[in-house]
Amino acid sequence: MLLFIPAVLGFTTFSPHEVSGITAVEVFFSSLSGVLAYRNSNLILKPLVLYMGISVLTGSVIGGAGSSYLSEDAVNIVYGVLAVLAAIMMFIPKKGLDDQPIEEITFTKWVASIVAFLVGLAAGIVGAGGAFILVPIMLVILKIPTRVTIATSLAITLLSSVGSASGKIFTGQVPYMPALVMITASILAVMIMGSAIKIWIDIF
């Protein structure tokens, strides 16, 4: 949207590197808002945050800093591949695990760590926190219940965004005024959606 809509409306266009920088900073604040909204929900699987969080943070730092050496086409290709993989996994049937208590949830630690590092690396390049690919991975590969996935992915995405945003800022890829506008809008959206999801969880 940031690549094409400003150009269509006649405003200043952003390069893929600038878009990835804006997105990285915006994702940090939106995921932080989401984590704060879920902090008392008992839906954040802390061991999974530990294993995936450390790996995704490491990968995102490398990807965020290294993205300045990639061409704009390469950044676009990485984002496209991630989007296609996420779309494919969302159509894979999931077994009914949504009634499983959080205390009984298990996962394969080395698989979680490896996929998180790869997601962090790619997410750092494109500036996204990686939630759009982390969620299907957690649902399909790690078999985490949906409600726990939603809350836990926000915490992991927060750590990922720390690395990618730092890399983008230190390499001068963030235009600050557009980023400020995006941050404000995303925080408002998270507050609205967080309330809606809590109502949904209470009902169902």
Residue pointed to by tokens 């932080």: 32
Per-residue pLDDT tens digits for 53-67: 899 888 888 887 777
In the predicted structure, residue 153 carries a pLDDT above the cut 60: yes
The model's pTM is: 0.71
Give the residue with greater pLDDT, 58 vs 171.
Answer: 58
> How is 96-127 classified by DSSP, letter by letter?
--TTS-GGG----HHHHHHHHHHHHHHHHHHT
DSSP string for 131-196: HHHHHHHHHHTS---HHHHHHHHHHHHHHHHHHHHHHHHHTT---HHHHHHHHHHHHHHHHHHHHH
Indicate if the alpha-carbon torsion angle 189, 54, 121, 45 is positive or negative: negative
Q: What is the mean pLDDT of residues 125-132?
A: 72
Chain-centroid distance of CA 26 in Å reads 11
How many domains are there within the chain?
Answer: 1
The range of the structural domain enclosing residue 169 comes to 5-203
Per-residue model confidence (pLDDT) at position 110: 93
108-125 confidence digits (pLDDT tens): 999 999 999 998 888 878
Q: Mean pLDDT of all residues in the chain?
A: 78
Q: Which of 172, 164, 198, 195 is nearest to 29 (CA)?
A: 164
Instruction: Please state, in angstroms and rounded to a whole number, the distance separating the CA atoms of residues 27 and 167.
Output: 14
Amino acid, single-letter form, for residue 128: A
